[in-house]
Chain A
Amino acid sequence: LAKTTQPISMDSYEGQEVNITCSHNNIATNDYITWYQQFPSQGPRFIIQGYKTKVTNEVASLFIPADRKSSTLSLPRVSLSDTAVYYCLVGDRNSGNTPLVFGKGTRLSVIA
């Protein structure tokens, strides 16, 4: 699976938009980009997934440039409850034998 690189940590104030960028230079043609959120002592929670351009849901937006070598998770107007670790993963979503490969993620701290 393509290796990903993300910032170790980020701080933000409440109400701000937060953008977390992930690098995946070796992404393969069939790979999708998926982001998970994890709170302390809980399992990761699926946030959003995309292949190219832009994807938006009720929680976040995912921006993927044409070369797909990076992606940006955008969280609009964060609140204290968005404090969590965010993981960027890439992989072929239709290859059931390939496991999810997590890095260390980005620890987001939202400050009042």
Chain B
Amino acid sequence: ETGVTQSPTHLIKTRGQQVTLRCSSQSGHNTVSWYQQALGQGPQFIFQYYREEENGRGNFPPRFSGLQFPNYSSELNVNALELDDSALYLCASSQDRDRVYGYTFGSGTRLTVV
């Protein structure tokens, strides 16, 4: 059973650019959530996808968008990057939106905006 994999592991972008982060969910999981974790803080919820539809969103501006594909993998897109977008971006997957066994997180993508 494979876990959650994210790519790339590290990324450096310039302010104003756009970035796409990718996530492959754990086998059998149909729900994917994205989190942003700034240094020294807990992860903050961005949004969640269930069977290719967004079904929950945190307090993030529209320039944060996402997709979930038929194989349940997912992308996080961020437009017009700002310096404050520098963070660890985490993807988590689960089965049927319930949390009986908890979410499985990937190791994240470290994004640095300069």
Binding site for B on A (CB under 8 A): 32, 34, 36, 41-46, 49, 87, 91, 93-94, 96-105
Contacts and interface: CB of A to CB of B under 8 A. Distances in A.
Nearest to A85: B42
A43 B56 contact: no
Most buried by B among A43, A44, A96, A100: A43
A105 B42 contact: yes
Nearest to A87: B42
A104 B41 contact: yes
B98 A96 contact: yes
A101 B56 contact: no
B21 to A, nearest CB: 13
Given A87-B42, A91-B99, A97-B48, A46 B104 contact: yes
Contacts of A34: 99, 102
Given A41-B108, A93-B99, A96-B96, 4 more contacts: A43-B92, A45-B105, A99-B56, A100-B43
Contacts of B90: 43-44
Interface string B80-114: 00000000101110001111111111111010000
Contact of B99 (A32, A41, A43, A104): A32
Interface in B17-66: 31, 33, 35, 40-45, 48, 50, 55-56, 58
Contacts of B55: 96-97
A46 B102 contact: yes
Nearest to B100: A93
A97 B57 CA distance: 9
Contacts of B45: 99-101
B105 to A, nearest CB: 3
A44 B44 CA distance: 12
B78 interface: no
